[in-house]
Amino acid sequence: MRIAKRLSILLLALLLAATVALFGACASGNDDNTNTGDDTQQGGDNTGDDNTGDDNTGGDNTGDNTGDNTGDDNTDDDTPTVRPTIKLSSTYLQLTVGEEATEITATVENSEEDVTWRSMNSNVATVEASDEDPNVGLITAVAAGSTSVRATIGNVYATVLVSVSREITADYSEDITIDADLSDWTEAELTKTISIDGDGGEGDTYADDDYKSATFYGVLDKNGLYLAVDVYHGIYQSKESTWWHNSQFEIFMGTGGALHYFVYADGDDTTFTGSDAQTKCGIGRDGGTTEMQVSWKTEKATDPQPTGTYHTIVEVFVPMGEISSYIGDAYLRVGVAWKSKDDGSGTDFDTCGNGEAAGGEPDNFWVPAGAWTDNADMTYVTEDGIYLRSEYNSLS
């Protein structure tokens, strides 16, 4: 009995020890699992969200930084774009119908490409690249008019303006002599003139101007421009140190007075004895020299002109080399005027009414009505004569 009791106690102790051991093992397992779980979550935080996903690899560093640096900052903004430049050897060409293979050269920088050539109106002028050098354009004048020719690389281009006129074939070199004698103009039937008359027509507006007049002649040929003026005037002034204070014939070409010539009296004195004539004159051109040929003759006017008045003829030839760039379609725009004594004093002006200056009132600047010297109303000089703008427009 005593032995059985002891065995029972021993078994109970063993059972208790086993139970304690079992609980200890369970506690140890729970601690390990908890720590491992926590570390994995931290890994999840570091790898998934903080390090790999959002902050480091996926979101901020790899995704955003690569997009910003490559797309916007480095490629688009930081790398400069160099555009090509094109410069042409001329910006304006004056050609005649049928003129072929006029060269225009394009100089290109910042590009290895050749230019392409294009005429904006091939009915007026055509262009093609030279076989030897594609940056040389060959222009052919087809018909009268104006157009532009472009040399282009991509969306960059340079332009040359091209004006084409009919060829001037008339030749008056054997018909007109620059000698202040206008009979040869009549013989050559060059009688289309324009004029200013002080008599005022039927109304006889300015009776004291009845005798005054200026008749202007003009014709264009392949050699150049012929002009003349035949004037009856009241004052003859010469030998003044300032050219526009003398009696003068003024000539303008190109609107805005681009080309200005003047011929002025330069006789030995302002008196005449008997039938003597003054033949000296001075010539000039604003902004350049001139090969202009001139003849001047002033003499005392005779009946039916009033005593003490004057008759002047001035004849002029301007060579083609000086005016070719101003020629249009077989015409030249020319402004002409006669002026006698402009000394700035306000007195002794040789005035004439019924012209364009001062609205038709008496003025010392004698310009035919309907014309002006340096604007859209400049006259047209052709191979046939000189025309008011309104007359020329009505020809067609």
pLDDT, one tens digit per residue, over 7-60 is 555 556 566 665 545 445 444 444 444 333 333 333 334 333 443 333 333 333
Helix-, strand-, coil-residue percentages of the chain, each rounded to 5: 25, 35, 40
For 254-309, where are the E strands, in sequence order? Answer: 259-265, 277-278, 281-285, 293-300
Q: Backbone phi, then psi, for 375, in 5-degree steps?
A: -140, -160
Task: For residue 268, give the DSSP letter.
Answer: S
Confirm if 229 and 214 have CB atoms less than 8 A apart: yes
What phi, psi does 350 have (nearest 5°)? -90, 90
- 354: nearest Cα among 363, 342, 346: 363
Q: Which amino acid is at 105?
A: T
Tokens 């013989």 appear where?
Answer: 187
User: Is the pLDDT score of 90 beyond 70?
Assistant: yes
Q: What is the DSSP letter of 286?
A: T
Residue 119 has pLDDT above 90, yes or no: yes
> Quick one: pLDDT at residue 255?
76
Q: Quick one: pLDDT band at residue 341, thresholds 50, 70, 90?
A: confident
For residues 311 and 300, the answer to whether their CB atoms sit within 8 Å is yes
Q: Which amino acid is at 270?
A: T
Q: Worst-scoring range by mean pLDDT, 276-285, 298-307, 338-347, 357-366? A: 338-347
Question: What does the alpha-carbon distance between residue 355 and residue 370 come to, in Å, rounded to a whole number?
Answer: 8
Structure tokens at 41: 């979550």
Provide the 10 A C-beta neighbour count for residue 307: 8
Residue 113 has pLDDT above 90, yes or no: yes
Task: List Cβ neighbours of 260 (8 Å cut-off, separation of 6 or more).
Answer: 250, 251, 252, 253, 285, 286, 287
Closest Cα to residue 140, out of 168, 99, 106, 88? Answer: 99
C-beta neighbour count of 146 within 10 angstroms: 15
Please return the burial class of 163, using the count of CB atoms within 10 Å of its CB with bins 0-12, 13-18 and 19+. buried
Token duo for residue 38: 């926590």
DSSP 57: S
Q: What is the pLDDT of residue 198?
A: 85
pLDDT at 55: 39
**Percentage with pLDDT > 70 across the chain:** 74
Residue 305 has pLDDT above 50, yes or no: yes
Determine the Cα–Cα distance for residues 113 and 229; give it in Å rounded to an integer. Answer: 57
Which of 278, 266, 263 minimizes the C-alpha distance to 312?
Answer: 278
**Considering all CA atoms of the chain, what is the largest pairwise distance in Å, rounded to the nearest integer?**
192
Burial class of residue 144 in the structure, from the number of CB atoms within 10 Å of its CB (0-12 exposed, 13-18 middle, 19+ buried): middle
Q: Which two tokens stand for residue 177?
A: 């002599």
Q: β-pairing, 156-165 with 92-96?
A: parallel
Residue 205 or 209, more confident: 209
Confidence bin at 319 (pLDDT 50/70/90):
very high
Q: What residue ranges do the domains of the chain occupy?
A: 40-78, 85-165, 183-395
Percent of the chain with pLDDT over 90: 52
Distance CA(85)–CA(182), nearest Å, equals 56
Hey, what amino acid is at 42? Q
Candidate CATH numbers 1.10.1660.10, 2.60.40.1080, 3.40.1280.10, 2.30.300.10; the one for domain 85-165: 2.60.40.1080
> Computed from CA positions of residues 317, 248, 329, 164, in that sequence, does the dihedral angle turn out positive or negative?
positive
CB 322 within 8 A of CB 227: no
End-to-end CA distance of the chain: 157
Tell me how far apart the alpha carbons of residues 81 and 14 are, in angstroms, rounded to a whole number: 91
Q: How confident is the model at residue 205 (pLDDT cuts 50, 70, 90)?
A: low
Q: Same CATH topology for 85-165 and 183-395?
A: yes
Specify the fold of 183-395: Immunoglobulin-like (2.60.40)
- pLDDT tens track for 133-184: 999 999 999 988 899 999 999 999 999 999 888 889 999 999 999 999 999 9
